[in-house]
Amino acid sequence: MVSRVIPVDPFDLVIFGGTGDLARRKILPALYQRFRVGQMPPDARLIGAARSSHDAADYRAFAEAAIREFSDADRGSLAAFLDTLDYVTVDASGETGWAGLAERLQPGRVRAFYFSVAPGLFGDLAERVRLHGLADADTRIVVEKPFGRDLGSARALNKALAAHFDESQIYRIDHYLGKETVQNLMAIRFGNMLFEPLWNSQYVDHIQITVAETVGVGGRGEYYDRAGAMRDMMQNHLMQLLCLIAMEPPAKFDPDAVRDEKLKVIRALDPVPPHHIVRGQYGAGDSDNQPSYREAVDDPRSTTESYIALKAHISNWRWAGTPFYLRTGKRLVARSSVINVAFKDAPHSIFGEEAGRHANLLTIRLQPNEGITLRVTIKEPGPGGMRLVDVPLDMTFAEALGPEGGDPPDAYERLIMDVIRGNQTLFMRGDEVEAAWAWTDPIIAGWEARGDVPKPYDSGSVGPAEADQLLKRDQRQWRGINP
């Protein structure tokens, strides 16, 4: 099964912050890969923009080094890709360089501006792009996360962007939505007859969503210590997974139809009481000499969480009574993103008490080893009566699609091409982001008011023991982090 590549129209893409870490690690390698497979046309132009003074040759050398470090490169296509690059010195919050940028843009083609700079500059950039006449009704702007740190700041950002651009021109990136397997959630749910009739509180006992990382805060300590796992992961990535798992079927796979349904899920979320929340902070690694969280952020008294688990409820007809257990953390035992849909026990066992209790479990692995496993109950082979056993019906997508299925493109590859195509389905709408903050803010305000201190947990573990209690109290338990 060879994936089809449909070239996009020629475009001009300006990367503000083109010399930054994100451009180096993600944006430039992603664009190169799309060029290499023939999706980005050779006459497209990529213009790096930042305050530091460089010429096009410097920027090509920067991009070449980045692509060699973070991507597979072959010499022929890399040279041709580098030919599409240019650079202009521009100050987002001053007047330097804008005339030079205007000269480099070609009329009559798709034009996009990627704001890969600190969020404090988003408003300045939107204003200057508009005031310098660089945008028309079809121009797109791409903004990176974090989109605010609470409802107030997210609203202010939305307002600053809306002063110069229509919502249909604003592409807010949550790179999780660009992951092949995350989109597959919609295909699994709405492309199959099998699951949807059972996808409700009548048949589903509970749902677990886990996004576990093995890495610590690394070089992002300063930012992370002001954010924590709730703002950095739960409010956006886990919230998006929750929406895709819980939303009603949209009438069609169209940007606003999908985003309307996601928004309804967020708005139906109940407030989360304190005893449904567990925050944790990792200690030093025993075996790998890695620093503890407090050492990594250089604050021996930090009370920021590097782990959070919580129990959420969605108050609507489909989900009333079905808890959603969400957890995410750093320095955990494995890197994995997985969703477990635990079905209820059969209403009556015809096999009697001794057959034990058995329930189906659908495990959706987003990474690694993308695939799904359905645990089904069968008779244990052999004589000696009707004993039941649960066995996995397992499918790994890579095996099912065969070697020609190839590696899925990186999330940024898909998302940037969607910007050029003008498809907003995988981007967060302003009201969606605000609703997510409206749910998050009181949770954070609650623990700040209580002076809550995160529970310590060992690096390389599954998180604090208190998170196990969260489920044990409901006679449930977490599935393994590494399914």
Instruction: List residues near ligand NAP by CB under 6 A.
Output: 16-23, 25, 50-52, 90-93, 116-119, 121, 144-146
Please tell me the distance from the alpha carbon of residue 145 to that of residue 347, in angstroms, as a whole number. Answer: 45
- Contact 149/403 with Cβ under 8 angstroms? no
Q: How far is the CB of 362 from ligand NAP (least distance, A)?
A: 31
Active-site choice (164, 237, 276, 358)? 237
Residue 141 has which token pair?
Answer: 């702007």
Q: Is 133 annotated as a binding residue?
A: no
Helix residue spans in 28-148 (DSSP H): 28-36, 56-70, 75-82, 98-104, 122-131
Residue 237: active-site member: yes
Q: Is 18 annotated as a binding residue?
A: yes
Q: Is 276 annotated as a binding residue?
A: no
Phi, psi (5° rounding) for residue 467?
Answer: -70, -30
Q: Is 19 annotated as a binding residue?
A: yes
Residue with tokens 């059969």: 346
- Contact 188/374 with Cβ under 8 angstroms? no
Q: Is 396 annotated as a binding residue?
A: no
The side-by-side arrangement of strands in the sheet containing 140-143 is 85-89, 45-50, 11-16, 110-115, 140-143, 170-172
Q: How far is the CB of 221 from ligand NAP (least distance, A)?
A: 13
CB-hemisphere CA count at 13 Å for 130?
A: 17
Q: How far is the CB of 49 from ligand NAP (least distance, A)?
A: 6
Radius of gyration of the chain (CA): 24
Residue 330 has which token pair?
Answer: 């750093």
Which residue is nearest to ligand NAP, using beta carbons?
20
Q: How far is the CB of 56 from ligand NAP (least distance, A)?
A: 15
Q: Which is nearer to ligand NAP, 19 or 459 (CB)?
A: 19
Residue 210 has which token pair?
Answer: 């886990």
Q: Which is nearer to ligand NAP, 146 or 456 (CB)?
A: 146
Residue positions counted in the chain:
483
Q: Is 213 annotated as a binding residue?
A: yes
Q: Which is nearer to ligand NAP, 13 or 312 (CB)?
A: 13
Q: Is 344 annotated as a binding residue?
A: no
Q: Which is nearer to ligand NAP, 109 or 220 (CB)?
A: 220
Q: Are strands 110-115 and 204-212 parallel, antiparallel or unpaired?
A: unpaired
Q: Which is nearer to ligand NAP, 24 or 206 (CB)?
A: 24
Residue 60 has which token pair?
Answer: 């090509």
Q: How far is the CB of 272 from ligand NAP (least distance, A)?
A: 26
Helix (H) or strand (E) holding 229: helix 221-229
Q: Which residues are annotated as a binding site?
A: 17-24, 51, 145, 175, 179, 213, 232, 330
Catalytic residue positions? 237
Q: Which residues are annotated as a binding site for NADP(+)?
A: 17-24, 51, 145
Q: Which residues are annotated as a binding site for substrate?
A: 175, 179, 213, 232, 330
